[in-house]
Chains A and B, each alone.
Chain A
């Protein structure tokens, strides 16, 4: 979320990078060789030079960026909303019509980023000009603002009127100047009810200097850097491979990618998918049981998985390990007031000599823990818990995945049938909006072919164009 901020100099940092990008596009559009072809547009009895139609703009953007019409409409709409292009017909409606409507480039003098922020004085002069030019030309909201300004900057009002008269005296390009100025003020002082593109949200308080660049600061930075330099790093190829493996493994479990069975509750209004995956179902779905084999954390994070795992461990007479781990988790995330009593309980049940559910920890960790118990705190069991965690993970967990208990669960796991529409049973109900990647691979349709072709064209144009 971007929040309004006025840094030194009055620039709105948030907006500047998006303005710069739009200006690059605008400059490219006006390039004498590769830019848009402009012509004279007739408006009532006047001929306005250097204008273009909405259709031209859309087509140029489509060609330049190799995008579809919908996207081109979106981008050109942005350019109009931010005032870089303004309409000649219906100037108060800042939208881009993909037809023969005429548009013109705003002169850089009137770009929002050039004269930022728009000043009250300038606005007053503009309204005064309008008022002088033709009595009653001001709109209702402009009249209101005019009188508000008149009260607020009354002391400079003579100056305002003088400037207004002076600017009106210049006759050349009067119509063009009026159009440009009007477009500028429609953006910087939008009429009530109109969307305000320069709305930046909540104004956050100006922050006084926080960073003191003294020796202390640099010494800290140097320490941090030295530590960072000595860090172990992994090759990027291995990391990227890690992400790919993960995405592949979870693809069937990602409903946005693959859809879900029996049906997408958001489309069908049938919450069967959720009911099947509750904590307390008698038989879990196969996908769910499969997830337990992805990582130890997946198993532990699922209540049912934990229960099933505990059943297995009890059979192997090592259930106390998991119980100990769970008790430690409870301390870490539970209420502070109960820490002391919980620690005592853990000691009694798991750590004391002859305890009913004694856990096997190495002597060094045990000594450290026993020492820590004298002054119990939230993380006093951390080392012991870690020891047991890795014990279960390396030993019991892999064996559980190979056990009959797990394999039976997996085999019996429910694979829900896709619900069919009762009227047309042979029609597949839409599982999700997008074609799944699996379907794309098996049906090499024209679409895929086009995508590839367009993709290549895209890369080529990327090499050629310079925005």
Chain B
């Protein structure tokens, strides 16, 4: 029997302003301070604020003029995907507590996972053997990453640090190579650019590019007005995107060290973010239980993936290799599979006994790995 779900709400007309933090549809005001101000200073501020709001409205209007088609028209000729059914092929057992993060290696068979039991485990997903089990100094780990070369792994969390481990040390032991400490908030996500550079996002609202050799900050990307929750690197390694608790996603130019674009529209914290495989769009997943696709060239939201029967927030997401499918992990223990072009749900992965905290598709597109608070990782395809 096919899973038939109607398109509940197609969001092609977007109303996101360039900086989402002051959008009118926010339910919660962020903590602010205005300090002591004289009446004239207040007046000047009010003028500036009005000017800013005016500009934002103009941007919204400008974006609207570039919306010249609906999804139905555009995707009319695309073949229907039909029901997508993935089965669990392997279950990786070994963690003793909630798994918070996982990341595939570029060879598509090894992956690393981080859990609250204070361990970082590198798995051979075919044999389900543990290649490395690295004990961590701090068990409050929230993120982990695998370097493209396969030589290094990184992790971090409530210790506000990003710890880099060398897997290919001379004596065969895995040791801490660097501890990158400068953030004043928890580490929510980290991704390697190479063996010498890594980008981190933090609860102190900034993202940082580090030089691993010297252990110093090379660039600080500030601009978010809420905790930065996750980040993704573009396929050409020139840009990265970050999603934050100010309900916006930002595109950053790594070399020029500036924010190129800001996308709003979500009604709650953005927990997960990723690039569409061709690097031209950003996909975000939020606590408001929806995922959105923002196109970089159109500079706006083009698609929203939501359904009335999906009530729990998105914790993690990953697109399939061709970008046709989007897999999103939720708080309600399920993973929803979306047809990205038609904005229809085409499948569900139900196999975990607690919330799905992380998800990843291997670089050859063969398998999807999910990690959950039930302490298991599952490989699906």
Contact = CB atoms under 8 A, between A and B. Distances in A.
Interface stretch (A42-50, A103-111, A244-252): A244-252
Nearest to B158: A202
A58 B300 CA distance: 39
A38 interface: no
Given A239-B280, A250-B323, A256 B7 contact: no
Interface in A387-437: 432-435, 437
Contacts of B227: 5, 204, 207
Nearest to B297: A234
A172 interface: no
Given A202-B100, A458-B6, 17 more contacts: A2-B287, A2-B315, A13-B269, A22-B311, A66-B5, A67-B3, A205-B185, A210-B225, A233-B63, A234-B298, A239-B295, A239-B298, A250-B322, A254-B320, A254-B365, A266-B381, A336-B211
Interface in A434-467: 434-435, 437, 440-441, 447-448, 450-451, 454-455, 457-459, 461-462, 467
Interface stretch (B66-74, B162-170, B173-181): B66-74
Contacts of B31: 7-8, 207-211
Interface in B183-208: 185-186, 188, 193-197, 203, 205
Interface of A is mostly: helix
Q: Which 4 A-B pairs have the closest CB atoms?
A: A458-B6, A454-B4, A254-B322, A250-B322
Interface of B: 1-8, 12, 18-19, 21, 28, 30-35, 41, 44-45, 48-49, 51-52, 55-56, 58-59, 62-63, 66-69, 71, 73-75, 78-87, 89-90, 98, 100-101, 108-109, 116, 126, 140, 142, 157-158, 185-186, 188, 193-197, 203, 205, 211, 213-214, 225, 227, 229-230, 235-236, 245, 255, 259, 261-262, 267-269, 271-272, 276-278, 280-281, 287-289, 295, 297-300, 302, 308-309, 311-313, 315-316, 320-325, 331-332, 334, 340-341, 347-348, 350, 353-354, 357-358, 361, 364-368, 373, 379, 381
Contact of A21 (B74, B311, B316): B311
A433 B271 contact: no
Contacts, number: 362
Interface in A39-61: none
Contacts of B8: 462
A18 to B, nearest CB: 5
A14 B287 contact: yes
A228 B52 CA distance: 12
Given A244-B75, A333-B194, A254 B85 contact: no
A233 B98 CA distance: 43
A138 interface: no
Contact of B2 (A25, A207, A255, A447): A447
A435 B89 CA distance: 17
A274 B107 CA distance: 10
Contact of B350 (A17, A74, A440): A74
Given A254-B365, A433-B381, A214 B140 contact: no
B313 A18 contact: yes
Contacts of B211: 336
Contacts of B45: 213-215, 218
Nearest to A438: B79
Contacts of B320: 254, 256-257
15 contacts: A21-B289, A25-B311, A195-B353, A205-B203, A213-B33, A218-B45, A225-B52, A229-B58, A233-B63, A233-B300, A246-B322, A266-B90, A266-B126, A274-B108, A447-B1
Given A205-B186, A234-B66, A254-B324, A467 B308 contact: yes
A218 B21 CA distance: 13
Contacts of B357: 1
A235 interface: yes
B43 to A, nearest CB: 11
Interface string A326-365: 0000000111110000000000000000000000000000
Interface string A2-31: 110101100101100110011001000000
Given A228-B261, A256-B365, A440-B82, A236 B12 contact: yes
Interface in A107-134: none
A17 B262 CA distance: 23
Given A236-B69, A254-B321, A266-B381, A65 B309 contact: yes
A311 interface: no
Contacts of B300: 233, 236
A433 B87 contact: yes
A154 interface: no
A169 interface: no
Contacts of A221: 19, 52
Given A17-B268, A235-B66, A247 B299 contact: no
A261 interface: no
A325 B137 CA distance: 41
A435 B82 contact: yes
A225 B59 contact: yes
Contacts of A208: 31
A265 interface: yes
